[in-house]
Amino acid sequence: MKKTWLILSLVLPSGVWAQSDKVEATLQQFPAADAEHLQSALSDLTKSGEAGILELAAGLNQPGDHSRAEYALWSYSAYVAKGNHAADRLRSSQAYQKALKASKDPDAQTFLITQLQLIGKDEAVPTLATYLSDERLADPAARALTSIHTPAAQKAIVSALPGAKGAAQLAILEAAGKMRIQTAQSTFLKLAKSPELNVRKLALYGLANLGLPSAQPTLLAQASKVNYSYDPSEATNAYLLWLKRAGQNPKQTGVEKNALELIKFSKGYTRLAAEQIVLEKTNKATFTAFVERIAKADYPASDKFQLLKQAMAKASNTEQKRVVLKELAQVNHPAAFYFAHAFMDSKELQKTAATTVAELSLDLPELCTMKDRELISNTYPFISSTLQEEVRKHISIMPDLHGLKEAEKEEGFKALFDGSNLEQWTGNKQDYIIEEGNLVIRPLGKGQGNLYTKDEYADFVFRFDFQLTPGANNGLGVRSPLEGDAAYTGMELQILDNDAFEYKNLQPYQYHGSVYGIIPAKREAMRPIGEWNSEEVTLKGTHVKVVLNGVTILDGDTAEATKEGTPDHKEHPGLKRTSGHIGFLGHGSVVKFRNMRVKEL
């Protein structure tokens, strides 16, 4: 097929278009079976020159399946975009532009613009700029210009910005922000107060990404309006981004002061992010002061740990690392204990790390597994005799994880698990296994199997510890038979990661501690994911009480709760049972259990 015919085919009706045998033969090689065949196909496409590429691109404007042609063009674009293929890249760019100008099909146009995003340079800018006013194509065109990111591409974006409307305005605003075009700042400042949410959001982002001093008052004012918390315009995130960008400019002063001011008025994620910005600005003279301030701050232990961990990564010498380890001893969080222990392998840090580990062990009673005891014992050769004596005494009075405290023995409790076997249990012993003395469910299949006590219980007090993984979902079955869904044939008390995103729209009676479908529990007292929780369930007649980490989260009566019908409008025959098995109900998540003990009433 002659080149003249190719060009005509782009503008003539689809019925007169036909594909040359040569290009058809090349096209049949895609997708290639392996790297060798791919290279051969790409070589053939290269030999076809601009005419061959143009012919393939022209075919996108015709009815039918274009997947093979698109695959071939994607492959070729990726090929010429890297390596020493300057002439082939330019020919392809020119072919794509010709096909794009002749095309009337939005899908084909979008595809061709995307190819220019991959291979285009300044020669493609004038063509791409013509699509910035098109509501449908402004977004891919702006993305392509952002990828090219030359002065000419920036000029095209800035020129299109004043008159842009609707979807085109949003696309161009986003591109200007990503390209950090300083001449767009006046437009950003104007639109940062726009009543249109998406316009305001992108203008704030653009201002922030520039990181210029003059943007600070506007960004701070917008973040202040939303109390430095999240809102749909992401004003607070924009101010945090400005602090980060401004902090990257060594000539810009006052960033640390701005961040410290933000810390005074913010909390949660915002405060944590601001502290991270301050950390980045620390130097040899201010590092120690930063670490000591964090250790003394009234922050959650998890936040303190994250900041001190990041400070350790920034520490540039042994002395700074010692400072971090010393202050970690004030952070009552299990993660600090394990993190500090890792530095006992360093000769320079051994003594400091060991002292931190030992001191933390005295303040974290939940560190009582066999593995924890071993890690604590490792500190003995490196800590003072006084501290060693305290630690030894502490270990000696640690509760037996698989036995009973003296008071529990006197009360009549019975241990249901000794950390070595499941002799007192029946059911799914394939997914429920023993690891390091803990009972762990690791679902091999759907994880729907249940593990029950062999004995049945009527009225009782059941105590146990559990540790959740993110998004974990399990259940505690009570007065349950061995068959059927315990939530209905018996009763199920939820074991759940209440804060997981996927559970944000549950009914109140579906959260942790609730009698499933019947009585909702209070959503409080749960420790952070990865920490051990202690729970006590008392069942006497129709009265149910659940205490989580010392806080009563449910105290109700199933008969009272269902006198007008069940809240979930389902049948719960299990509510009438007077005895049954206690069990853990798998729902496909990894959960750990320990310290299971029961007292019959």
Is 115 or 7 the better-scoring residue by pLDDT?
A: 115
Q: What is the pLDDT of residues 32-86, one digit of tens each?
A: 556 676 677 677 777 777 887 888 787 787 787 778 778 888 888 888 888 788 9
How does DSSP classify residue 84?
S
- Between CA 502 and CA 467 the distance in angstroms is 19
Q: Which residues contact 134 (CB under 8 A, 6 or more apart)?
A: 141, 168
Terminal-residue alpha carbon distance, the chain: 93
* 447, pLDDT greater than 60: no
Mean pLDDT (whole number) for 397-414: 79
Q: Identify the helix (H) or strand (E) that includes residue 467.
A: strand 460-468
Least confident range of 21-25, 264-268, 305-309? 21-25
- Between CA 404 and CA 598 the distance in angstroms is 10
Regarding pTM above 0.85, the answer is no
Q: Please provide residue 435's backbone torsions phi and psi, each rounded to the nearest 5 degrees.
A: -135, 125
* 7, pLDDT greater than 90: no
Q: Which residues contact 448 (CB under 8 A, 6 or more apart)?
A: 586, 587, 588
Contact present, 578 and 448 (Cβ < 8 Å): no
Q: Which residues contact 20 (CB under 8 A, 6 or more apart)?
A: 1, 55
Mean pLDDT (whole number) for 579-587: 94
Q: What is the pLDDT of residues 460-503, one digit of tens each?
A: 999 999 999 999 999 999 999 999 999 999 999 999 999 999 99
pLDDT of residue 253: 86
pLDDT of residue 401: 65
Cis peptide bond prior to 443, omega within 30° of 0? no
- Between CA 122 and CA 35 the distance in angstroms is 31
- Between CA 134 and CA 140 the distance in angstroms is 10
pLDDT of residue 11: 34
Q: What is the pLDDT of residues 169-196, one digit of tens each?
A: 999 999 999 999 999 999 999 999 999 9
Mean pLDDT (whole number) for 553-559: 96
The 10 Å Cβ neighbour count of residue 65 is 7
Mean pLDDT (whole number) for 563-576: 95
Q: What is the pLDDT of residues 192-240, one digit of tens each?
A: 999 999 999 999 999 999 999 999 999 999 999 999 998 999 999 999 9
pLDDT band at residue 262 using 50, 70 and 90 as cut-offs: very high
β-strand partners of 536: 463, 547
Q: What is the pLDDT of residues 344-401, one digit of tens each?
A: 999 999 999 999 999 999 998 878 777 888 899 999 999 999 999 999 998 887 766 6
> Domain 406-600 class?
mainly beta
pLDDT of residue 135: 92
Q: Please provide residue 390's backbone torsions phi and psi, each rounded to the nearest 5 degrees.
A: -65, -45
* 553, pLDDT greater than 50: yes
How does DSSP classify residue 31?
S
* 16, pLDDT greater than 50: no
Is 22 or 249 the better-scoring residue by pLDDT?
A: 249
